[in-house]
Structures are given as C-alpha cells and as structure tokens.
C-alpha cells in the first residue's frame, strides 16, 4: 500500500533500482558530549553510542541470532567484511552503503578521519558513505573532507542529531549544542553537495506535540534531505532514568500518542524530505519500560491509517 509519506524504500528503489542495505561500523570515536568533564552526555544516552545491535557485546544473544560474530568492535575491516557477508547471504545483494553509525564519527582530527574513511572505503564499491555525528562537529575542514568522497557512483550523507527545534529542550536534555549550530552545519554540508539526514525525537515531558511539529518545520526550512524520527525509551544507565520522577511525568509515549505525534510531524514536513525512520526499536536488555509498541510494520500501518482517516499526506499542514 502506498504510504502517505515519502518512504526511504521508494527513494532507494528510484535511486538504485533496488533496496540497498547498510554495513554499520563502529570506529570507536566516542562523543565529546560524554567525554568532556562536567557535560555528562544527553539525558537519554545509555553509552552505547547508537551502536548497531550486532556490534554490542552486552547483547550477544542477538548478535548470534544475526549470525555475525564479532571479536573486536574497533576492527573496522573485520566489521565491514562481516557486514558485507551478511548482506550477501541474507538479501543476496551486492550493493551496500557504508554507515559510520556509532558515536560521533567526526570526533577526531581531520587527518585521522581521512585515514579511517579512506581505508574503510577500500573494502568495497559502496554506493554511499554515511557518517553520523553531532551538529557542532562538522567544521569546514571536515565538510571539505567528506565532500571529497562524492563521486558519480557514490553519495555522501551526514546524519545530524538535532532531536528538538527548541533550545530550551536541548538545554534540558544536555545536548551541548543549539538549533543555530544545527542550521549552520546543515548549510555547510548542503553547500558542498553532501546530503543531510536529521534525527528528531518525540520528547514527552520536555515538550508537546506542537513543538514536535515545530521541529519538522525547522528541519524543512533548513533543507534537510531526510529525517529519522525516534521515540524516547527509559534506558538503563541514563540520566533520564534517574531524573524522570522529578520531571513529574512519564517520558515514554503510548502507541496511540506516538501515532498521533508522528502523523502531525509528517503533516508539517516538506513533502520532498525522505522519511527514513518513524520509531526506534530498543532491545529489552536496554530499556526498563515495558514494550508498548507492536512490531514496526504494525506501527507504520497505524500511522498510515491515522493520516488517511484525516485526509493527511506529508506536508499537508505546512
């Protein structure tokens, strides 16, 4: 069924003629928001650095279930070979995107970044290089380096964590950057032909659905090429878990509220923006809240039905 939003799978098929899968890599670059004395990281950060499930030692059962065995998470060559083998075996696909997913993947001197990216790209003709990082970690030099990897056969994407378009919320979350820093980063990247994917969060207790819609409008104005929308979970080892009682409300949305808020965000999002993700999938080992959502397919179906019942499509409320 055609979704009332601009799906990532449609984009991949129109761009490459087929679905393309990601090889996720942990380059061990950590994050300045956790490392800097006194900053302590984002309230919701559990210290896994958004590492892919198969790269997390503490979730070895899932790792085995995926058939991928990993001995050294910073052995980039090994991670790539195992990821490629998995994609070939599971999807019978040769096309792949290289995804520096974990932590802040521009958190090093530019010479070191060049060594890391250069050697990783030697392993395969990746159709995309995707680098996930923070808005305050993409100075001109890093943007120039990333732009140097663009070729007719390879796109470069940078995934920027913004989470909210409200500076007060960003401050409460301890993000360590503001909206202006995001807008400037998106402009620097896009001026060089680098595509931008922005991560947003639905943040009950910090802001309402109207603010979430405002986040969709801000990233539309800043020209992001894609978005990933996440729901908040109460994860072990987070400040959020320690602090949520003082917030006076429970920061985890019900499925119904999630569906309503995502639909409102999509209705306020530029229809040209590719929608890569509409929910986070946390393993039970990581979060303490009960699992409130069914599987992803069912959640997407509910969002689509909710929008169709109202005659909504992506961007209709802009």
- Contact set with ligand SF4 (CB under 6 A): 31, 33-34, 41-42, 45, 49, 103, 134, 161
DSSP label at residue 21: E
| Four-residue CA torsion sign, 187, 150, 22, 98 | negative
Beta carbon nearer to ligand SF4, 39 or 190: 39
Beta carbon nearer to ligand SF4, 54 or 177: 177
Distance CA 202, CA 94 (A): 35
Outline where DSSP puts E strands in the chain: 21-25, 96-100, 128-133, 155-163, 195-202, 226-231, 274-277
* Paired residues of 229 in beta bridges: 200
The least distance separating ligand SF4 from the CB of residue 181, rounded to whole angstroms, comes to: 12
- Give me the sheet containing 155-163, strands edge to edge: 21-25, 96-100, 128-133, 155-163, 195-202, 226-231, 274-277
- For residue 234, give the nearest of 262, 210, 205 by alpha carbon: 205
Task: Tell the burial category of 38 from Cβ atoms under 10 Å away from its Cβ (0-12, 13-18, 19+).
Answer: exposed
The least distance separating ligand SF4 from the CB of residue 280, rounded to whole angstroms, comes to: 12
12-25 as b/e, with b when 16 or more CB fall inside 10 Å?
beeeeeeebbbbbb
The least distance separating ligand SF4 from the CB of residue 104, rounded to whole angstroms, comes to: 6
Distance CA 299, CA 260 (A): 11
Distance CA 188, CA 290 (A): 41
Beta carbon nearer to ligand SF4, 47 or 214: 47
Beta carbon nearer to ligand SF4, 34 or 114: 34
Beta carbon nearer to ligand SF4, 45 or 273: 45
The least distance separating ligand SF4 from the CB of residue 28, rounded to whole angstroms, comes to: 13
The least distance separating ligand SF4 from the CB of residue 136, rounded to whole angstroms, comes to: 10
The least distance separating ligand SF4 from the CB of residue 183, rounded to whole angstroms, comes to: 18
Beta carbon nearer to ligand SF4, 193 or 237: 237
Tokens standing for residue 60: 């070895």
Tokens standing for residue 196: 């931008």
The least distance separating ligand SF4 from the CB of residue 57, rounded to whole angstroms, comes to: 17
The least distance separating ligand SF4 from the CB of residue 40, rounded to whole angstroms, comes to: 8
Beta carbon nearer to ligand SF4, 239 or 257: 239
The count of C-alpha atoms lying within 13 angstroms of the C-alpha of 31, restricted to the half-sphere facing its C-beta, is 26
Tokens standing for residue 297: 């397919």
Beta carbon nearer to ligand SF4, 12 or 53: 53
Beta carbon nearer to ligand SF4, 31 or 264: 31
The least distance separating ligand SF4 from the CB of residue 50, rounded to whole angstroms, comes to: 7
């Amino acid at each position: 069924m055609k979704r009332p939003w601009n799906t990532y799978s449609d984009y991949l098929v129109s761009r490459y003629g087929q679905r393309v899968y990601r090889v996720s890599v942990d380059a061990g670059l950590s994050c300045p928001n956790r490392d800097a004395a006194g900053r302590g990281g984002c309230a919701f950060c559990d210290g896994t650095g958004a590492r892919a499930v198969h790269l997390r030692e503490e979730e070895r059962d899932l790792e085995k279930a995926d058939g991928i065995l990993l001995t050294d998470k910073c052995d980039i060559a090994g991670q790539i070979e195992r990821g490629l083998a998995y994609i070939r075996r599971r999807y019978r696909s040769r096309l792949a995107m290289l995804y520096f997913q974990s932590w802040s993947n521009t958190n090093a001197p530019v010479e070191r970044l060049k060594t890391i990216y250069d050697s990783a790209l030697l392993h395969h003709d990746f159709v995309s290089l995707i680098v996930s990082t923070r808005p305050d970690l993409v100075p001109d030099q890093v943007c120039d380096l990333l732009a140097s990897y663009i070729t007719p056969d390879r796109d470069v994407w940078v995934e920027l964590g913004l989470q909210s378009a409200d500076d007060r919320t960003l401050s409460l979350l301890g993000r360590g950057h503001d909206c202006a820093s995001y807008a400037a980063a998106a402009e620097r990247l896009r001026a060089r032909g680098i595509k931008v994917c922005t991560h947003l969060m639905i943040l009950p207790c910090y802001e309402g659905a109207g603010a979430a819609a405002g986040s969709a409008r801000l990233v539309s104005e800043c020209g992001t090429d894609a978005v990933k929308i996440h729901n908040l979970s109460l994860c072990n080892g987070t400040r959020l878990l320690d602090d949520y009682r003082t917030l006076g409300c429970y920061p985890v949305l019900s499925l119904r509220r999630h569906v309503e808020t995502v639909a409102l965000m999509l209705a306020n999002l530029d229809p040209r923006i590719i929608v890569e993700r509409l929910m986070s999938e946390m393993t039970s080992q990581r979060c303490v809240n009960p699992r409130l959502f069914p599987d992803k397919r069912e959640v997407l179906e509910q969002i689509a039905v909710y929008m169709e019942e109202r005659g909504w499509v992506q961007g209709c409320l802009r």
